[in-house]
Amino acid sequence: MATLKEKISAWSYGSGSNASAAAAASPVGVAQAQSMPPAALAAAASAPAAVAGSAGVTMPAAPAVSGTYYALKTRLHQSLIAKIDLAAAEAMQPDQLRSQLRDVLLGLIDEEAIPMNEQERRSLVADLQNEVLGLGPLEPLLADPDISEIMVNGFDTVFVEKRGRIERVNIRFNDDTHLLKIIDKIVSRVGRRVDESSPMVDARLPDGSRVNAIISPIALDGPAMSIRRFAVKPLKMADLVERRTLTPGMAELLAGMVKAKTNILISGGTGSGKTTLLNILSSYIPEHERIITIEDTAELQMQQSHVVRLETRPANSEGRGEISMRSLVKNSLRMRPDRIVLGEVRGGEVIDMLQAMNTGHDGSLTTVHANTPRDALGRLENLVGMGGVSLPVKPLRQQIASAINVIVQATRLSDGSRKITSIHEVTGMEGEVISTQEIFHFERSGVGADGAVLGRFKPTGIRPLLAERLKISGVNLAEELFNPLVFNE
Ligand SMILES: Nc1ncnc2c1ncn2[C@@H]1O[C@H](COP(=O)(O)OP(=O)(O)OP(=O)(O)O)[C@@H](O)[C@H]1O
Ligand SMILES: [Mg+2]
């Protein structure tokens, strides 16, 4: 954990002239909502009022960001560091420190003798407090519980996903250096680093949000970052039913399958809700069972108490010390797990996972990146190959067919909603091909006036072979659940 002194003094902007140059070069109209420059300063830079953002995205008109504003901010920041009693600040509660900073800053602003109204002073102070104590321009976005994803494409281009819709926001960093400093602040907090030799990094915010950052020379237009917000109140099955992600009947079936120790593969595209569903399904694992979770970046939140959580580790700067998903899956088998919950299969660990599923670790759950259940099976096959294991096609498929019992397809539809578009049961092999049967599917019927996807969930009429197994495990499902003629929603 960095000391306050480090936290505060590690911080500085790019050189004043750089910041000004970058600000001047940035397109007029991309302004900071959070740190609207005082009008007096914007006027001093004699920039015209804002018009619209790029690429047809309408942005609220706002005063242009002026280099003068950044220069002032930098100056104030440096004076602040010189003035603050770090030893005393270290001992303070966050709220106390925040208000202490405000008092010092207001004094410093007065010394600058720049005409500002009360509101402008307040936003300048908030801006600087965020820089010193938090993640700068990201703070107002992080404070908005409706934002589920923050995508920083460059220092002056930030998009968010809000209630399923992607929109551009009026938030920007001073320049690449500023953005890089914020990225560094995030990754160094979890003991990772990002630089030219390792330009991609995964990290986590203290609240659990997942962060990925990528910098030059890989990212061609400067640093980029994606933050998958950690839902403060994680979604539950009831929330999914309420949002019409699936029907109560489908929810009952999935929950029953978890209780009955079925091996489930959740398939879906980026941001389709795989991890969310994995988390929810995991909550149906009975309390007495021992669960091992394995993830690249810990996102799962297990409710049970008998849980061991494992996370992979990237190589250090000398290229050593990597702990791969594969080695964690292997290791977990020696930890007497009842269930293995693997965040996502994306490499050679798939072979160990399949073996685990085939050798008594029933009820294991994982996800895979694929757009249909068929693709998901194909992807598993490819991943085995990537792991350096070359099995003839048929035995390989046999392994997969006997390991995976059910594939649940998650989809993010064009209106931003997430749906379970298909539940497939794996039934065995027919010749060289893995055979499956669909139990439920979402039938699209069109698009409403507001862009909403119309359609309904339908059982296919096939009663899953697994229903027997569920019954033996004490999970009794109503026959109507699988009947397409019975209204199911
Ligand atoms: N059923 C749902 N309804 C509404 N929002 C959802 C639903 N499921 C997930 N979300 C939201 O969608 C976002 C993506 O969810 P999640 O992280 O589970 O997706 P993912 O498929 O695991 O993504 P990735 O491929 O990036 O790992 C999150 O912000 C989550 O809160
Ligand atoms: Mg995920």
Domain boundary among 232, 255, 278: 232
Task: Name the closest-CA residue to atom 12, ligand 1.
Answer: 273
- pLDDT 10s digits, 33-55: 334 444 444 333 333 333 333 33
Q: Whose CA is nearest to atom 16 of ligand 1?
A: 273
Tokens of 98: 């925040």
Is residue 241 domain-shared with residue 207, that is, in the same domain? no
**Domains in the chain: how many in total?**
3
Average of pLDDT values for 343-370?
93
pLDDT reported for residue 485: 82
The encoded tokens of residue 59 equal 């942005």
Q: Choose the residue to mutate in 275, 369, 457 for probing ligand 1, maximizing ligand atoms within 8 Å of C-beta.
A: 275
**Do 10 and 90 have their domain in common?**
yes
In a domain, 403, yes or no: yes
Give the per-residue SS3 of 341-369.
Answer: EECCCCCCHHHHHHHHHHCCCCCCEEEEE
Shortest CA distance to 357 belongs to which of 374, 380, 323? 380
Specify whether 177 is located in the same domain as 190: yes
Q: Is the dihedral of CA 277, 280, 282, 284 positive or negative?
A: negative
For the stretch 363-380, what's the b/e string if a residue is b when 16 or more beta carbons lie within 10 angstroms of its beta carbon? bbbbbbbbebbbbbbebb
DSSP letter at 220? T
- Using 50, 70 and 90 to split pLDDT, how confident is the model at 118? confident
Give, as residue ranges, everything with CB less than 5 Å from ion ligand 2: 274-275
At residue 86, the pLDDT reads 67
CATH of the domain at 342: 3.40.50.300
Average pLDDT, the chain: 83
Q: Which ligand is nearest to the CA of 271?
A: 1
**Shared-domain flag, residues 97 and 149:** no
Same domain for 436 and 423: yes
Tell me, what's the pLDDT at 371? 97
309 lies in the same domain as 381: yes
For residues 61 and 117, give the distance between their C-alpha atoms in angstroms, rounded to a whole number.
20
Where does 113-208 have alpha helices with state H? 118-133, 139-142, 176-189
Using the mean position of ligand 1's atoms as its centre, give its distance from the Cα of residue 60 in Å: 28
Which of 232, 265, 287 is the last residue in one of the domains?
A: 232
Lowest mean pLDDT among 5-9, 153-157, 182-186, 356-360: 5-9
| CA 471 remoteness from chain centre | 37
Whether 489 is covered by a domain: the verdict is: no
Nearest CA to ligand 1 atom 4: 418
**Mutational test site, ligand 1, from 230, 245, 418, 421, max ligand atoms within 8 Å of CB:** 418
Greatest CA span in the chain, whole angstroms?
83
Same domain, 152 and 108: no
The number of the ligand 1 atom at minimal distance from the alpha carbon of 240 is 1
The pLDDT value recorded for residue 200 is: 92
- The 3-state DSSP class for residue 144 equals coil
Question: Do residues 316 and 210 share a domain?
Answer: no
Q: Which atom of ligand 1 is nearest the CA belonging to 228?
A: 29
Q: Are 340 and 330 in contact (CB under 8 A)?
A: no
State which amino acid sits at residue 176: D
Report CA(149)–ligand 1 centroid distance (Å).
Answer: 9
For 419, list phi and psi in degrees, rounded to 5.
Answer: -135, 150
Q: Is the pLDDT of residue 377 over 90?
A: yes
Q: What is the mean pLDDT of residues 252-274?
A: 96
Residue 488, in any domain of the structure? no
**Residue 201 sits in a domain of what CATH number?**
3.30.450.370
287 and 415 housed in the same domain = yes
- pLDDT average, residue stretch 350-375: 93
Q: Which of 117, 133, 149 is the last residue of a domain?
A: 133
CA of 185 to the centre of ligand 1 (A): 26
User: For residue 391, is it within any domain?
Assistant: yes
Q: Could you list the residue range(s) of the whole structural domain that residue 312 is in?
A: 237-482
Examine residue 217 and say whether the peptide bond preceding it is cis (omega within 30 degrees of 0). Answer: yes
Same domain, yes or no: 396 and 408: yes
CA distance 59 to 64: 12
Question: Among the listed ranges 57-66, 75-84, 417-426, 451-460, which one has the minimum average pLDDT value?
Answer: 57-66
The preferred substitution site among 166, 228, 344 for testing ligand 1, maximizing ligand atoms within 8 Å of CB, is: 228
Q: What residues line ligand 1, using a CB cutoff of 6 Å? A: 148-149, 228-229, 231, 235, 240, 243, 245, 268, 270-276, 418
Q: Say yes or no to pLDDT of 30 above 60.
A: no
**Span from the CA of 272 to the centroid of ligand 1 (angstroms):** 5
> Which pLDDT score, from 0 to 100, does residue 66 have?
58
Under 8 Å between Cβ of 173 and 137: yes
463 in any annotated domain: yes
Residue 37 is assigned to a structural domain of this protein: yes
For 220-250, how does the pLDDT look when each residue is reduced to its tens digit (9 = 90+)? 989 999 999 877 678 999 999 999 999 999 9
399 and 344 in a common domain: yes
Q: Give the model's pLDDT for residue 316.
A: 77
The CA 412 to ligand 1 mean position distance, Å, reads: 8
Tell me whether residue 487 is in a domain.
no
The reply to whether 94 falls in a domain is: yes
Model confidence at 167: pLDDT above 50: yes
257, 466 contact by CB (below 8 A): yes
Distances (CA, A) of 406 to 160, 266, 339, 428: 33, 8, 16, 11
